[in-house]
Every structure is written in structure tokens, then in C-alpha cells.
Structure 1
């Protein structure tokens, strides 16, 4: 379905991410079946359950490739400007998280909707020592083979693919097995990224090719010459489609709390855009760089389409900023939600996805699967509302006026 939708959207010249559209389509089909033929909806859910558990088990891994190649995206940014951007990203993430979370609770109190317990969600099994040893053997064997036969599979990207993929997977497995207290400050996504970077660095050192060329082989974005990152990101569309099943499981809560979901997402989207523009102006960040980081809380595909509406924007910087925002969210979101006393899965899910999009969604839902449906909805709606807001000429002009 993911492949079909991608081809259809390309043929129709539609820039909106096809997977988000597909997610809402699957959710609608399940709801209609549940109303007309409940047994068919139950059978469909039962059929896809093993695949959903597989995706849930590996979910953060599919968002890692952009983090691994981050050094290539930011290498040309001046240090002073980079520091200002980091300040805006960190402060903006915390502000957006707070606004979305408390807005959800405030609207709930306003409409007087009582919170009910979510449907229990199955948790995937932990990784076994056999799996870790198996991937370790794959890494060592493929690394040695790549060193001695650098074009054995036709291109260097294909030759590097097995050991770079194995190093990424190994890092995620090891990170997932760390004690819970350690994971609060050192998320498996960080461990996974570092592991992949170390694998690339080791190959670059022993082959004397350097780190950057190897990272270039990690994510080529060329279908005929894929790297390890391309393989992992190839799952992303299917992952987003699968969110529909989690949303359907919590359909009663979704319907019951629609007011706070929509209101908090809209408020958070508007706040994120204008607060970023204002912060850039106040700390003296160059206007072209400020424009490039405006959609920091929106998923990469839509963020790139938003900055294309502004002249002089740096799309590479946009992608890098979105990834770093997600990284901060993935690493600190659970601890920060606890400190802000946001306890229920609805507020936690909305706040996470509204401030840290896919990476934050993957990180939180790996530990709190009951929050995934609300992450998924906020993840999609934040991108949709952000795109709609920025497509209005008056809004773009007001943002440019603030940026200066």
C-alpha cells in the first residue's frame, strides 16, 4: 500500500506525504468496518497483530538514519550561528512540549471530559543474547569483507551496507537492554546512532577513506544504489501506515477527547512557528537561517515543503534541525513530561508528537505504547496544520516581518 500510494502521489504531483494520507484511510476503513461488520474489523486487527508488534519492537530504528548523517548536514554552518540555532531548538522544544501538554489538559477541564483508562497495548519481547551475538557475527564478517573487497557487491555503498546496518541494529539492541534509569538520559536512539557512527569511523580509518565519504554511503537516497540508511528508511511509510491500527484500538478515547487533541495541536503549531521566528530575531540569528528552522517541530517531508515557500531557505539545515529536535525529544521527553506532571497518555502523546514529531513518537511509544495513538494523531495533524498555516500568504508575510 505504501509503494502504491507513493507512486500515485508522484504521478498526481501531490507534495503531501502519502503515508499520512494512507494512515487516515486505514483508520477510516477500520472504523467503517467496526460499525457495519465488527467481525471483519476484528479479523483484520488480528491478522496484522504480528506485524504491528514487529514494528513496535523496532520503531525507533527506522528514524535513526537522518541522525547518523547529521554531521554532513551541519558541516558548513558557522559555529556562532550553530550555537544560536541549538539554543532555539532546545528552548523551543521545551516550550512547545509545555504549551501542547497543558493546552490539552486545559481544554479537557473546559469541556469537562473525564479521563478513562486506555485500552491495554501489548508490549514486544526484549532482545535475546542470541540475537545480539548473531548480529555481532554479521557485523564482524561483513566489516572484514568490506575492507578486503570494497566493491564486492558492485558499489561501495552496497558493500558497506551489511556492516553499517549491523552496527546500527547492534547499537539499538544494546541500548534497549540498558537499565531504565540509564535510558532516561541515554536513549537507545542515541546508542544506536553512536554505534553506527563508530562503525563508519572504523571503516573510514582502516580503509583510509575518512568518515564523511562512508557516511555518504550510509544514506544515498538513490534507489539503484541503496545504503544501510536507505534500507531502514524504506520501512518508514509502512510504519506510519501502521499507526492507524493503534489509533483504532484507542478509538473510544480518540472520539471522546477530540476537542483537546485538535485544539492543543493547532495552538502548538502556531506557537512553534511564531516563537521560533521571534527567538531568531531576538538573539540575532541570520534571517535566512531563522527561516530555515521555522518548521522545527514538523516531520521532515512537510518541513521541507514548508521552507520551499520561503526564498533563500536552506533545506539541508531544515532537515538537520528537525532531526536534532527529534533527538532532544527522544532523549529527554519522558523525564520532562514527568517533571511537568503530565501523567495521562493523551497529554503525553500530544505533547511529545507536537514538539518532537516522529523521533519523539518512536521514543515514547517504545516505552508507553498506550500513548502511541495520540502521538500518531498529533504527529500527523501538526504537519497538516503547519503546512496549511504557512500556505496562507498573510501568515508567511507576518513571519518574514518578525524574522526581519
Structure 2
């Protein structure tokens, strides 16, 4: 009987759809729990990540096998990113009206978001490798990994910094904006998109369509600016 149970368990965890199934189930449970409680530590990305890591460790499933199982979700990242153009298009007129404030925010906040993190790490005694890895923390993982590799950082570690930044931004960003009495949807969206990229944009879309649109715009502009300007800036300074 024990042998049969062990064989059945091994067949279950090594099924091609096991990783995909537990990922979708855990995330859906996290969303439901967060919607009902609004407890920041149940933020879906953070909660799902912690639970999935625990499940992989308990089940003994290899990460490579899990990664192959969830490959359909990775393929959906492209269409989901493109879908962010929908709220942008619906709010295009509003974006045109606020074009100058948007560009000023990109210049000031973009520089501050990049420099503040690097400066804090430098004051704490971080080495150059860590500083270059930390610099592109406020953009999406694909861009951050490429930029970090180009300026002398570690691409894999940059992805970790990006995830931490996004999760913390989604958890504490709205409360901090409320504390600072920032209520305008465009301003809140720009702040979330520029600092917490895709995770922040997901959180902004929960507030309103306009907030999500400006967050998606800020995330896109921040990504382009970082990819183009940060390597040039590092080359000039170093």
C-alpha cells in the first residue's frame, strides 16, 4: 500500500501539468484572500511566491521540471504586456493633456528612483558589482537583466532586485501615497509604474482604469529611458 501511495505521489508531482496547476491554484487563492482581507502581506505575488517555494521544497520537485511545467504562463507574458495598451488607448486624450507633467515626472522621478537606491547601497558599503546590479531595479526583469549585464552587474541578481522592488512597491506604495495625500489617479499611476513596474501596474489597475493606464505608461517610459540612458551614463562616469 505504501509503495502504491509513493508511486502515485511521484506520478502526481511529475505530471507535466502539476506545476501549472499549483501555480494557478495558489495565485487564485492569494487573490481571494487579499481581496477579502486587504492585508498587505497577502499581496498575491508575494504570497504565491512564498507558498510555491514551500510546496516545491516539500514535494521535492526540481525547479527545472517546475519551470518547464509553467512554460505556458511564460508564453502569456507577451500578450498580457501588449494588453496594457488597451487602457493606454482608452486614456490617450488624458495622456496628451498631461504630456508635459508626464515628461517632467519621468525626468525627476526616474533619476531619483535610480540614484537613490544606488546611493543608499554605496553608503552601506556595497561593491561596484552590487551597485551596477541594483541600478536598473525599477524596470521590468527582461530590461533590467540586459542593462545590468551591459553595465557590469549580475543579470540573475538584477531579476531578484526587480522582484523585491515590485512586491514592496505594490505592498506599501498605495498606503504611502495615501499618507502623502496623493489622490490624483494619474499621479498615483505614474508613481506605481515608475517604481514598482509590472507588479505596481497590476496594483494600479485595481484602483482604476486611469490609474492603471498611467502606470503602464510610466513603466514603459521608465524601461526605455533606463535601457538607453543608464548604460551611457555609466560609461561616462566610470
TM-score norm. by structure 1 comes to 0.53
SS, match of residue 331 in structure 1: helix
CA contact (8 A) 1:185 1:332 kept: no
Alignment partners' CA distance in 1, 2:24 and 2:8: 13
Q: Distance in 2 between matches of 1:310 and 1:146?
A: 49
Counterpart Cα distance in 2 of 1:351 and 1:267 = 11
State the distance in 1 between where 2:15 and 2:113 align.
Answer: 38
Q: Which residue of 1 aligns with 2:234?
A: 396
Q: Write out per-residue CA displacement over residues 310-342 of structure 1, whole angstroms, 9 at most, x where no aligned residue.
A: 23x211111100111001011111111101111
Query: Could you say which residue in structure 2 is the equivalent of 1:328?
Result: 168
Question: Which of 45, 49, 53 pairs up with 1:189?
Answer: 45
Give yes or no for contact 1:164–1:200 (8 Å, CA) kept in 2.
no
**1:148: Cα distance to partner?**
3.6
Within 5 Å, which residues of 2 pair with 1:215-230?
A: 215-219=63-67, 226-228=68-70, 230=71
Match of 2:125 among 272, 284, 307: 284
Secondary structure of 2:135 counterpart: coil
Q: Give 1:387 deviation, angstroms.
A: 1.3
Q: 1:390: how far off?
A: 2.0
Rounded to whole Å, the distance in 1 between the matches of 2:75 and 2:160 is: 19
Question: Shift of the alpha carbon at 1:188?
Answer: 2.7
2:168 is equivalent to residue 168 of structure 1: no
Q: Contact 1:390 / 1:396 at 8 angstroms: preserved in 2? A: yes
SS class of match (1:308): helix
Match of 2:186 among 340, 346, 349: 346
Q: Alpha carbon RMSD of aligned pairs, Å?
A: 2.4
The number of residues matched between the two structures is: 233
Larger radius of gyration: 1
* Contact 1:243/1:376, CA 8 A, preserved across alignment: yes
Q: Which runs of 5+ in 1 are unaligned?
A: 1-143, 205-212, 220-225
CA displacement at 1:300 relative to structure 2: 1.0
Report what 1:147 is aligned to.
9
Equivalent residue, structure 1, for 2:81: 240
Query: Per-residue displacement from partner, 1:9-44 (whole Å, max 9, x unpaired)?
Result: xxxxxxxxxxxxxxxxxxxxxxxxxxxxxxxxxxxx
Distance 1:374 1:398, change over 3 A: same
Aligned partners of 1:310, 1:235: CA distance in 2, in Å? 29
Deviation of the 1:157 alpha carbon: 7.2
1:270 has 2:132 as partner: no
Q: Cα deviation per residue 1:216-238 (whole Å; 9 max; x = unaligned)?
A: 4332xxxxxx222x322322111
Deviation of 1:270 (Å): 2.1
2:154 aligns with one of 300, 314, 331: 314
- Structure 1 residues 271, 201: closer, same or farther in 2, change over 3 A? same
- Alpha-carbon distance change, 145 to 179 in structure 1, aligned in 2, over 3 angstroms: farther
Runs of 5+ unmatched residues, structure 2: 1-5
How far apart are 1:173 and its partner, in Å? 3.9
Question: Which structure shows the bigger proportion of residues in helix conformation?
Answer: 2
1:354–1:379: 8 Å Cα contact kept in structure 2? yes
Higher relative CO (Cα under 8 Å, sequence separation at least 6) belongs to: 1
Determine the C-alpha separation between the residues in 2 that align with 1:145 and 1:265. Answer: 56
Secondary structure at the counterpart of residue 149 of structure 1: helix
Tell me the alpha carbon deviations over residues 268-315 of structure 1, each in whole angstroms, 9 at most, x when there is no partner.
22223333332222211121111111101011111112122223x211
Question: Is the partner of 1:285 in helix, strand or coil?
Answer: coil
